[in-house]
Structures are given as C-alpha cells and as structure tokens.
Structure 1
Amino acid sequence: MAENKNNRLPIYAVIFTVLLKLLFLLTHYIQEDAFITWRVAQNLLDYGVIGFNGETKISASTTHLYVFVSYLFNLVLGKEYFIEPLLIFNSILFTIGTLFLAHLTLKNPWHKAIFIVLIGILPPAVKISILGMEYGILFFLEMSLLYYGFSKGRKWALILLPILIMFTRIDTIIFLGIVFLVDIFWNRKIRWSYIWGGILGLLSVLSFNWLYFGELVNNTIVAKKLLYEHDFTFAQNLDYFLVSFGNFWGMLKLPGNFNPVTVIVLIFELLCFIYLVRQREKRNYFLWMIFIFGWVKQIIFISQKSLFDWYYWVPQLLLFVPVLIFVLEQKEKRNLWLSLLVVFYILPMTVFQTIHSIATGNGEWNYRRKIGLFLNSYEKDKNQWILLEPAGYVPYFSGLKTIDEVGLVDKQIQTEVKKDKAHYWLNTVKNRKPKYLLSYNNLFTGKDAAYYQAHYKLLKEFRIKDNLKSDNRILEKIYHLKPSGTDYNLYVKID
C-alpha cells in the first residue's frame, strides 16, 4: 500500500508544479513571437490560409504543428478566450515531459518528485510553460520519444514522434540526429523504425513547405539569415561568442561580456555528468543523449549568431539534469547538498524569473499591447498597412495588415533588402506607402527627414517611462528596477 502511494508521488509532483507555475499567468509575460503564431492560426481560421495578411500564404511562424494546435484552441474556445487555456495546456505537456525524463534517469519515487518540482521552477522551464511558445509541446514530444521509443521500445513512437517533432520545429533534426548517433554507438545496431520515422518526418515537413509555400525552408529562417547576416573577422567572432556565451549558455542573463555564474554552473554540470557516467547505469544511455544534444545545440546556434534566447531553453534544462541527479542521489549529507542547491541556486533563479516576468509582462502586456489596442480603436479599416518591428503584439491587437522589418510576415521587404540593404526601410515606405509607421527612431530627424515630413505626421508618442507606474508600491519598484520595453513613435500618412 505504501509502495503504491510512493509510486504516485511523481504524478502529485506534476500536478503541484503545474499549479505553482500557473501563478506566473498573473504576470502576463507572453513572448512576442507567440502572437505571430497565434495570428497565423487566426488567419487560417478566417481565410483558410496559413499566412499573416489575408489570403497571402507565408510561413510566418517557425512552427507548423503549434499553428494547428493554436488553430484548434481558437476554433473551440474563440479568439477572446483561448490564450490562458493554451498556456495551461503547454505547461501541463511540458511538466509531463519532465515526468518522462525523471523516469528515464531516476529510480526512487521521492527523487523523481523532487526532480520534477525543482527543474519545473527553473527560469527556462517557467518560460517554456507560460510564454506561449511551441517549446512545451516540443519538450513533451522529445521526452516521449526517449521514454516510449528508446526506453519502452514502442515502434509506433519511433515512427510517429519524429514526424510530429519535425513538424514542430525543423531544427529538431539536431536532437533527432544526436539521439540516433548515441543509440548506434550504445547498442551497435540500427533501429529501422526510427530511420523510417526520421525519413518520413523530414520528407513530410519539406514536402509540406514546398507544396504549400513553394519553399523548402521556413520563411522565418530565410528572412533572419538575410537581414542578420554579417561578415565578421576571427576577433569579432570570438568576442561575439564570449558575449553570447555569458548570456545564453546559462540560465541567468547579466550585462557585460563575462558571466561568472554561467561559468561556475557549466563547470559543475560537467563534473556532475562525468561523475554519473562513470557509474555503470542504464540511464547513462539517456544522459549521453541529452548532454551531448545540449552542448551541440548551443554551439551550433551560438556559432550562427542566434540571439533569441528561446533557442537555448531546452538545452539549458537538459544540461542541468546531471546536477539534480547528483545532488538527489548523495548517500551522505544529501539534505545538506539539496539545501545548498535550493537556497543558493534554485530559489534565487526562481526569484530572478519572477521579477523578470513581472517587469517584462508589464512592458509587453501593459505597454506594447496598448499600442495595438490604440490602433485597433483608431483605425477601423483593417486593410490598412503598418510597417514596424517586431510583428507580435501590435499587429495582433491592432488587426492591421503588417510589414515587419525582418520580413517574417511579409516577403516583399526581403526584395528591398536584397536590392539595397542600407536603405531598404525607406525604399519600402516609398514603394508600399503604408498608412502607419511605428519606429524606435524620430523619423523627422536625419538625412531622410524631409521625405517623412512631407508624407507623414506624428500621430502619437509611446514612452516606456510613462508605463512604470502602479498603485502597488512593490510592483512599481520592480518596474523601475528592470524597465522593459522600447520608446516608439507612431506616424500616419498624410492624405
């Protein structure tokens, strides 16, 4: 009886962790790019087309599977009520994924339960669960593949899950490839079901892209590469790596080129991993998979100068897994080790993420969303165009047709980038003549000021300093401690 009760502990831990993380919904911290995916889903609902602006097809979202999931939530719950249920759904799936990971790496039910709670409240886990991105579904699918496919040997999982994983994000070929290589070296045999799953997954997503969008690779990847591509010297590349290393390799972003917390944690992760794999345990098979993937994914993306921090959430968590296992399985002074970990790392990280979520949620939901709501009220003709960056909150809440600076949601701007990268913004304004411009800069100063003054007028200024107020004194201090947002100038075309 007691044993059965203990076996339920991981399930209880899943429920407790999900409920605990739902408190972060109160911060309204939702990632900008989530609104791009949700607008694509609503475009599919309204026009029957996977796009962003009416009937024009474009892979504006990085994820196809999450677009379809978001579409279903919109269809069933309606546009006004789908967000919170979808965030809860993401959080549940992610936490079930941590349950599978606990089953793969731990034996003791108590250890599994503590593992699920502690890993679930780390900053990347909170962001995966609550920020509205596709990584909750992705983590669930990846851990399901390891658990059902490689631990339980279910052939259906080896075939079906790679297809779903690649439809979630095409860059998951890195994860699938690392798992394949470790499995080959470990078992000295080929799992043909997995081979077929990988082939079908790759063929499915590439065929879908080509037949529907007329492209092999998602437009988002092409657009970012086109705009952000630079030729760096070796010294510049090295400096860039050091800056990125400090910000993205660990879980805590700090200003400057050197992040001592990241370095200390990284060394401890390596030492814990080496300690664990020296023991002859079956779980080493999975530890090698997740640890090598964590390193390879981060190295590849940092080398490609990928600045967006969500690329690093899953690797950050997986690299930290050996630390939790090491601490939980200490036979002597386990409580001391666990207390030190919780007091000096887990709790500070959770506090940091709480402050970050409150401040960023204020800057995104209470500030940037208001710009979209203002435009939605001001402009009744939703066929009018706006040129801006980024393409999340403002287009979503304004309902206007959108040209974004990067070209994620509108391909025509990429043509301007190819023709004249230095002047593509001005050329787009001249050629497309959008009714609204939303800019970080004062367009009425500088060498092109005369053109903007002749054709546009300043409609409204949006200043982040005006948004750092609250009746709650603690919230107001947090807003000032970490102001989040950007000053904008909104211009409207002169008729």
Structure 2
Amino acid sequence: MAKNKINRIPIYAVIFTVVLKLLFLLTHYIQEDAFITWRVAQNLLDYGVIGFNGETKISASTTHLYVFVSYLFNLIFGKEYFIEPLLVFNSILFTIGTLFLANLTLKNPWHKAIFIFLIGILPPGVKISILGMEYGILFFLEMALLYYGFSKGKRWALIFLPVLIMFTRIDTVIFLGIVFMVDVFWNRKMKWNYVFGGILGLLSVLSFNWLYFGELVNNTIVAKKLLYEHNFTFEQNLNYFLVSFGNFWGMLKLPGNFNPVTVIVLIFELLCFIYLVRQREKRNYFLWMIFIFGWAKQIIFLSQKSLFDWYYWVPQLLLFVPVLIFVLEQKERRNLWLSLLVVFYIVPMLAFQTVHAIATGNGEWNYRRGIGLFLDAFEKDKKQWILLEPAGYIPYFSGLKTIDEVGLVDKQIQTEVKKDKAHYWINTVKNRRPKYLLSYKNLFQGNDALYYQTHYKLMKEFRIKDNLKSDHPILEKIYHLKPSGTDYNLYIKID
C-alpha cells in the first residue's frame, strides 16, 4: 500500500503543477498566432470551411489537428467561453507529456515528481501550457510516442501517433526522422510498424493539403518564405545565425549579439549529457533521441531564419533534460546541487517569465485586443476589409475580413509580392481598396503620401505609452519596465 502511494507521487506532481500554472492565465498572455488558429476554427464552425475569410479555403493556421480541437471546444463551450477550458486542456496535456518523459528517464518517484514540476515552470513549459498554441498537444503526442511506442512497444502507438503528430505540425518530420535514425542505429533493425506510421502520416497530411487546399505544404510556410527570403552571403548568414542563436537557443533573451547565459547553459547541458550517456543506462536510448532532436531542430530553424519563439520551446526543454537528471541523481550533496539550480536558474527564469507574461499580456490582451474591440463596435458590417499585420488579435476581435501583410490569411497579397516586392503594400491598397488600413507608419509621409491623403483619412492613433497604466503600482512598474506592443495608425477610406 505504501509503495502504491509513493508511485502515485508523480501523478500528484502533475496535478499540482497544472494548478499552479493556471495562475498565469490571470496575465492574459496569449500568443498572437493562437487567435489565427481560433478564427480558422470558428470559420469552420460558421461556414463549414477551413479558412479565415468566409467561404475561401486557406490553410491560414500552421496546424490542422489543433484547428479541429479548437473547433470542438468552440462547439462545446461557445465562442465566448472556450479559451480558458482550451488553455487548461493544453496545460494538462503538456504536463502529462512531462510525466511520460520522466518515466522514460528516471526511476525514483520523487525524482520524477520534482522533474515534472521544475520542467513545467521553466519559461518554455509555461508558454507551451498557457499561450494557446498547439505545442501542448504536440509535446503530449511526441512523448506518448516515445513512451508507448518505443518503451512499451505498443503497435497502435507506432502507427497511429505519427499520423496525429504530422497533422499537428508538418515540420515534425524532423522529430519523427531523428527518432527513426536513433532507433535503427541502437537496435540494428527497423520497426516496420513505425515506418508504416510515418509514411501514413506524411501521405495523409500531404493528401489532405492537396485535396482540400490544392497545395502540398501549408500556406503559412509558403507565405513566410516568400516575404522573408533574403539573398545573403555566407558571412551574412553566419552572422545572422550567431545573433539568433543567443536569443533562441536558450530560454532568456538579452539585447545584443552575445548572450552569455545561453552559452553557459549550453555548455552545462552538453557536459551533463556526456556524463549521463557514459553510464550505459537503458534510458540513453531516449536521451540520444531527444538531445539530437533538440540540436537538429534548433540548427535547422535558426539556419532558415525562422525567428518565431514557439519553434524553439520544445527543443529548449528537451536540451535541458540532462541537466535536471544530472542534478536529481547526485548521490552526494544532491540538496546542494538542487538548491543551486533552483536559486540561480529556475527561480530567476520563473521570475523573468512572470514579468514577461504580465507585460506582454497587457500589450496583447489589453492593448491590441482593445483595437479589435474598438473596430468591432465601430464597424457593424463584417464584410468590410482591413489591411494590417499581424493577423491575430485585431481581426479576431473586430470580426472584419482581413488582408495581412505576410499573406498568411489572404493569398492574393502573395501575388503582389511576386510581382513587385518593394511596392506590394501600396499596390494591394490600390487594387483591393480595403476600407481600413492599420499601419506602424505614418502613411501621409513618404513616396505614396499623396495617394493615401486622397483616398484615406486618419481615423485614430493607438499609442502603446497610453496603455502603460494600472491601478496597481507594481503592475504599472512592470508595464513600464517592459513595454509590449506597437504604435499604430488607423486609416479609413473616404471615397
């Protein structure tokens, strides 16, 4: 009986960690792109079409599976009340995923419990749980594949889970491929059920894209590549990589080209990994999988200049796993090691993430959402168009049809980029004539000022400095410490 109680400790850690992290919901820190996925889900609910603007089909979201999950939550809880239940669901799935990972790499129930809690309160663990993106589901599925498919040898997991993983994000082919290569190298034979599951997953998502959208890869990938592609020299690419490495490889962003925290943590991660794999434990099988994947994912995405935080959350956590295992399994002075880790890394990271979440939540939920609500109240005709960037909060809360600068939610702007990348914005305005323009810049200055002055008038200025206020002095200090948001000018068509 006592042994059963001890074995339940990791389950209690899952519950405790989830409940504790729910406090972050109070910050209203939700990633902009989550609202793109949720609008796609609501478009499916309203029009029966996976799209963003009415009956036009477009893969505006990076994830198909999460669109369907969001659709179900909208259906069950309603458009007004689905967000909090969905965020709780994401947090639960992610934390169960950390339980799977703990079971793969640790034996002692108390070590597992501490591991689950500590990895859950690191910045990527918090963001995966509460920012509304698809990574809670993805982390759960990937760790479930390792646990049930490669540890327990369940055939259903090897066949079925790769399909769900690929439908969550198509770039998970990196994870599935690394797992396959490590498994073949380790066991000197192939798991044919897994090969079949991988092929089935790839064929399923590509076939779905082609048959439904008429494209092999998601529109989001095509749009970003088209707009952000640059012809850099090797030296420029290398410099770009090194600058990005400092901010995306580790968990702490610092201004400048060099991030000493990232370098120190990277070296410690490597040393801990080498120390652990030299012990020749069964778990090395999984440590090699997650560590090689972490490196591969980071290097591939950094080299492709994919500078979006969420691409790096899972690798950041998996690369830190050896550090936690190393500290927890110290036979001598374990408490000292653990205390040093908590005091000098975990707590500062948690404090950093708390401040970041409060400040960014204010800039996103209170400020950018406020612009959307202003437009929603002002413009009752939801068939009117707005041209802006980004396509998250403001289109979601305004309900207006949307053209985004990148072309994530509207393909026609990609045609303008291909024709004349330098002038695609003004050409889009002239050809599409949207009723509203929301710009970072003053459109009444510059080469095209006369056109804008003739056809549009300045309707309202939105300034982030006006949003850095609170009745709570501590919150106001945090807002000023890290102001989050962008100044906007809203223009309305006059002819």
TM range (shorter): over 0.9
2:409 partner amino acid: V
Please state if 1:254 is matched with 2:254: yes
Runs of 4+ in 1 over 3 A off after TM superposition: none
Please state if 1:186 is matched with 2:186: yes
Residue number in structure 1 paired with 2:131: 131
Residue number in structure 1 paired with 2:478: 478
- C-alpha distance in structure 2 between counterparts of 1:110 and 1:127, whole Å: 25
- Structure 1 residues 46-445: aligned runs within 5 Å: 46-445=46-445
Find the residue that maps to 2:51 and give its secondary structure: coil
Please give the per-residue CA displacement for 1:140-179, whole angstroms capped at 9, x wherever unaligned: 0000000000000000000000000000000000000000
- C-alpha distance in structure 2 between counterparts of 1:366 and 1:394, whole Å: 11
Please state if 1:32 is matched with 2:32: yes
CA deviation after TM superposition for structure 1 residue 239, in Å: 1.2
- C-alpha distance in structure 1 between counterparts of 2:225 and 2:447, whole Å: 28
Please give the per-residue CA displacement for 1:245-277, whole angstroms capped at 9, x wherever unaligned: 000000000000000000000000000000000
Q: TM-score w.r.t. structure 1 length? A: 1.00
2:50 partner amino acid: I
CA deviation after TM superposition for structure 1 residue 234, in Å: 1.8
Find the residue that maps to 1:490 and give its secondary structure: strand
Find the residue that maps to 1:280 and give its secondary structure: coil
CA deviation after TM superposition for structure 1 residue 121, in Å: 0.1
CA deviation after TM superposition for structure 1 residue 233, in Å: 1.2
CA deviation after TM superposition for structure 1 residue 377, in Å: 0.3
- C-alpha distance in structure 1 between counterparts of 2:189 and 2:288, whole Å: 17
1:162 partner amino acid: P
Choose 1-10 or 73-82, whichever is displaced more: 1-10
1:3 partner amino acid: K
Please give the per-residue CA displacement for 1:287-306, whole angstroms capped at 9, x wherever unaligned: 00000000000000000000
Please give the per-residue CA displacement for 1:182-220, whole angstroms capped at 9, x wherever unaligned: 000000111000000001000000000000000001000
- C-alpha distance in structure 1 between counterparts of 2:54 and 2:309, whole Å: 30
CA deviation after TM superposition for structure 1 residue 235, in Å: 1.8
2:29 partner amino acid: Y
Please give the per-residue CA displacement for 1:440-494, whole angstroms capped at 9, x wherever unaligned: 0000011110000000000000000000000100000000000000000000000
CA deviation after TM superposition for structure 1 residue 129, in Å: 0.3
- C-alpha distance in structure 2 between counterparts of 1:242 and 1:227, whole Å: 22
Q: TM-score w.r.t. structure 2 length? A: 1.00
- C-alpha distance in structure 2 between counterparts of 1:353 and 1:306, whole Å: 22
Find the residue that maps to 2:189 and give its secondary structure: coil
Please give the per-residue CA displacement for 1:4-56, whole angstroms capped at 9, x wherever unaligned: 11100000000000001000000000000000000000000000000000000
CA deviation after TM superposition for structure 1 residue 398, in Å: 0.1
Find the residue that maps to 2:263 and give its secondary structure: helix
Find the residue that maps to 1:459 and give its secondary structure: strand
Find the residue that maps to 2:330 and give its secondary structure: coil
- C-alpha distance in structure 1 between counterparts of 2:156 and 2:308, whole Å: 34
Residue number in structure 1 paired with 2:469: 469
CA deviation after TM superposition for structure 1 residue 238, in Å: 1.5
2:252 partner amino acid: L
1:384 partner amino acid: Q
Find the residue that maps to 2:62 and give its secondary structure: coil
5+ residue gaps in structure 1? none
- C-alpha distance in structure 1 between counterparts of 2:75 and 2:308, whole Å: 30
CA deviation after TM superposition for structure 1 residue 352, in Å: 0.2
- C-alpha distance in structure 2 between counterparts of 1:239 and 1:360, whole Å: 28
Residue number in structure 2 paired with 1:449: 449
CA deviation after TM superposition for structure 1 residue 236, in Å: 1.1
- C-alpha distance in structure 1 between counterparts of 2:243 and 2:457, whole Å: 39
- C-alpha distance in structure 1 between counterparts of 2:196 and 2:433, whole Å: 50
2:285 partner amino acid: Y
Please give the per-residue CA displacement for 1:406-463, whole angstroms capped at 9, x wherever unaligned: 0000000000000000000000000000000000000001111000000000000000
- C-alpha distance in structure 1 between counterparts of 2:223 and 2:397, whole Å: 23
- C-alpha distance in structure 2 between counterparts of 1:211 and 1:238, whole Å: 39
- C-alpha distance in structure 1 between counterparts of 2:14 and 2:253, whole Å: 28
- C-alpha distance in structure 2 between counterparts of 1:423 and 1:458, whole Å: 21
CA deviation after TM superposition for structure 1 residue 357, in Å: 0.1
Find the residue that maps to 2:380 and give its secondary structure: coil
- C-alpha distance in structure 1 between counterparts of 2:224 and 2:189, whole Å: 39
Find the residue that maps to 1:24 and give its secondary structure: helix
- C-alpha distance in structure 2 between counterparts of 1:486 and 1:469, whole Å: 16
2:435 partner amino acid: K
- C-alpha distance in structure 2 between counterparts of 1:129 and 1:481, whole Å: 25
Please give the per-residue CA displacement for 1:340-390, whole angstroms capped at 9, x wherever unaligned: 000000000000000000000000000000000000000000000000000
Find the residue that maps to 2:457 and give its secondary structure: strand
- C-alpha distance in structure 2 between counterparts of 1:447 and 1:159, whole Å: 57
2:135 partner amino acid: Y
- C-alpha distance in structure 2 between counterparts of 1:269 and 1:293, whole Å: 14
2:463 partner amino acid: R
CA deviation after TM superposition for structure 1 residue 228, in Å: 0.2
Identity among equivalent pairs (%): 90
1:111 partner amino acid: H
CA deviation after TM superposition for structure 1 residue 122, in Å: 0.1
- CA RMSD after TM alignment: 0.4
